[in-house]
Structure 1
Amino acid sequence: MTTFLGRHSEADDHLDQLRWLGHDVRVVSGGHDKESVLEAFASDLDLPEWFGRNWDALLDALRDLEGRQGVPIELVWDEARALRQADPEVYRTVVEILEQVDDERSDLNVTVVAR
C-alpha cells in the first residue's frame, strides 16, 4: 500500500519509525520535471547502467531493485510537491509507477512525501 504524507513532522516521524523497525529505507529526492525525476531515481537509488531514463525503464528498474535478504524496502519519494504543482501529469505518472511496483512486490512499500 502506498502511503502519502505531507507535513514535515509527519514524514520525519514515519521515516524514523521505519528505520527503527529495521526497514531498508531508500529516499529519492524531488524533481521538478520528467528528466530531473528520472535522474533523481537513477542517482539516489544507484540504478544500473542499463536504466534508460524513461517510464518503462523506471518500472523495470524498480521491479529489480534489490535489498538486504529478508529486510523490507521502504522506497520514499520525498519532496514530490514541486513536481505535483509544476507538472501534475508527470507527477501522476510517477505515482502510478510507484503504486504498480508497490502492488507487485511484497517486500517493497512506497511512501510519497509532498513537502
Structure 2
Amino acid sequence: MNKTFKDFLLQDVNNVFLNENEFAETVIINKNAMKIVRDSDEMVQFNTDKKLASCDVVFHVESSYFRGIPQPERIMEFEGKEYRIKVVRNNLGMLTIGLMRYTE
C-alpha cells in the first residue's frame, strides 16, 4: 500500500518533532509521562489575541496520550501544578494546549 502525505507527516511527528534528541522533552501530565514540545512563540500569539485569556504554558503533544480531546476550562496537572485548560487545537493527531495557572 502506498503511503500518503498524511502518513509521512504522522511519521515525522514521532521521528523528528517528538524526538527528545531534537525538540521534545518528557514531562508529567495528569500523573503520566508524555513527550511534549513547549512553544513560546505560540504562547505569545495566544497572549496577544483579545479573544483568549493569557496562557502560562503552551505545548504540543500527541493526541494518543489522551482518551479524548482535553476540554477547555478543565483542570490539568502539569509538572505537579494545577492549570486550567484555556485552548485546545487538534491538528493531524497533535494537540496544541494552552494552560493558565489555576488558583482558587
> Normalised by the size of structure 1, how large is the TM-score?
0.28
> Which has more strand, going by share of residues?
2
> Normalised by the size of structure 2, how large is the TM-score?
0.29
Greater RCO (CA < 8 Å, at least 6 residues apart): 1
Larger radius of gyration: 2
> Which has more helix, going by share of residues?
1
